[in-house]
Amino acid sequence: MELRDETIPLQVRKLRQNTQINANLKGEDKQNITDVLSDNKYLFAWTTTDMPGIDPRLPPHRMAICRYAKLVAQKKRRLGEERRLAAQEKVSKLKKVEFIREVQYTTWLDNVVFVKKNNGQWRICTYHTDLNKACPKDANPLPNINILVDGAT
């Protein structure tokens, strides 16, 4: 069976927001999920402005980097004018609501990659290839899942 998504429009503060559910859902299940989403649409953070003042220390972000990893600074990529303007706009929005802040890392640099979405806007992604090589594969391993599954049965 092919997995497809179906867009569910939700009206939030005079704006139309969309979310997706599995298009293979039928009848009552689909209606129940749609009703829950509609009833609770104000609980979701649709934009970064819906999350002002989040203390950046609340969810601490620390990377487990191997001691023997070679430090790599990626070559700085130049952005075209359209991408540069999109980056400035996105960064200014995130700074305005204090979702991000400027930091100085002299050793590590991960470039941003811009991908054009179907609606013409830009999605900004981070290119983490070198960083992924330097981090352990499983910094927080789970207990042996087979033992847990066998114990549950």
For the chain, what are the domain ranges? Answer: 5-46, 51-140
Q: How far is CA 34 from CA 43, 47, 103, in A?
A: 15, 21, 41
DSSP state, 43?
Answer: G
pTM: 0.44
pLDDT of 106 above 60: no
Topology of the domain covering 51-140: HIV Type 1 Reverse Transcriptase; Chain A, domain 1 (3.10.10)
Instruction: Give 80 or 141, the one with higher predicted confidence.
Output: 80
In sequence order, the β-bridge partners of residue 44 are none
At 56, the pLDDT band (50, 70, 90 cuts) reads: low
Percent of the chain residues past pLDDT 70, beyond the cut: 78
Q: What is the pLDDT of residues 57-103, one digit of tens each?
A: 666 556 677 777 777 767 777 888 988 888 888 888 888 877 777 76
Name, in order, each residue with C-beta under 8 angstroms of 8's C-beta and a sequence gap of 6 or more. 18, 19, 20, 21, 34, 37
Q: How much of the chain exceeds pLDDT 90, in percent?
A: 1
